[in-house]
Amino acid sequence: MPKAKTTLAYFPDTFRGMMATKDIEAGDPLVSVPENLLITASKVRKLVESRIAALSNGFSGSRDRRWPLTEHQSLAYWLYSESAKESESRWCSYIRSIPRSFDTIPLCVLAGNAPCNDIGTAGSESSRWLMAHMPHSMKLRVIEQHERLYRDWTATNAFLKEAGLDPLDRWSHYVWAWLAVNTRCIHLGQHAGAAKAESVSTKKHAAPPDDLVESIDRTDSMALAPVLDLLNHSAAADIATRFDPITRQFVIQTNCAFSKGQEAFIRYGPHDNRFMIIEYGFVLARNPYQVLELDHAVSLWTEAAKTRLRTARPSSLMMRPDDVDVMVSTLKQYRMWGDFTISLDDLEPSYRLHAALRLLLLAEQKGMTSKQAVLQWERWRRGEPSTSPGDADIEAAIQSWVCAICQNTAALSRQMLEDIQDCTGQSRSHDAGDHINGFLAHCLSTVWREINDISERCLARIMPDQRVMSCGP
Ligand X SMILES: C[S@@+](CC[C@H](N)C(=O)[O-])C[C@H]1O[C@@H](n2cnc3c(N)ncnc32)[C@H](O)[C@@H]1O
The residues of the shown chain that bind ligand X, judged by CB under 6 A, are 14-17, 99, 183-184, 229-234, 280-282
Minimum Å gap between C-beta 281 and ligand X is: 5
How crowded is residue 235: how many other Cβ atoms within 10 Å of its Cβ?
Answer: 17
Residue among 283 and 360 whose Cβ is closer to ligand X: 283
- Cα 401 to Cα 383: distance, rounded to the nearest angstrom: 23
Query: Nearest approach, Cβ of 11 to ligand X (angstroms)?
Result: 8
CB of 266 to ligand X, least distance (A): 9
Of 4 and 317, CB closest to ligand X: 4
Dihedral of CA atoms 94, 100, 105, 106 in degrees, nearest 10, equals 140
Beta carbon nearer to ligand X, 22 or 233: 233
The minimum distance between CB 133 and ligand X, in angstroms, equals 20
- Of 282 and 340, CB closest to ligand X: 282
Angle 72-107-420 (CA atoms, 0-180°, nearest 5)?
Answer: 155
Q: Which is nearer to ligand X, 227 or 471 (CB)?
A: 227
DSSP strand pairing (232-233 vs 222-224): unpaired
C-alpha to C-alpha distance for 173 and 111, rounded to whole angstroms: 11
User: Cβ 140 to ligand X, closest distance in Å?
Assistant: 21
Computed from CA positions of residues 355, 356, 359, 362, in that sequence, does the dihedral angle turn out positive or negative? Answer: negative
At its nearest, how many Å lie between ligand X and the CB of residue 175?
14
Q: How many CB atoms lie within 10 A of CB 106?
A: 26
Tell me the closest approach of the beta carbon of residue 409 to ligand X, in angstroms: 26
Nearer to ligand X, 15 or 351 (CB): 15
Decide whether 17 or 349 has the Cβ nearer to ligand X.
17
Q: State the minimum distance, in angstroms, from the CB of residue 258 to ligand X.
A: 14
Q: Which is nearer to ligand X, 49 or 450 (CB)?
A: 450
- Residue 470 has φ and ψ, to the nearest 5°, of -160, 140
Q: Which residues pair with 10 in a beta bridge?
A: 16
Query: Shortest gap between Cβ of 230 and ligand X (angstroms)?
Result: 5
Q: Are 35 and 244 in contact (CB under 8 A)?
A: no
Sequence-ordered list of residues with C-beta below 8 angstroms from that of 359, at least 6 positions apart, any chain: 327, 330, 331, 373, 374, 377
Q: How many residues does the chain have?
A: 473
- Cα-to-chain-centroid distance, residue 342: 19
Of 457, 459, 453, 461, nearest to 472 (Cα)?
459
Nearer to ligand X, 184 or 366 (CB): 184
Question: What CA–CA distance (Å, rounded) separates 348 from 291?
Answer: 10
Q: Using CA atoms, how far apart are residues 432 and 390, in angstroms rounded to an integer? A: 53
β partners of residue 252: 31, 241
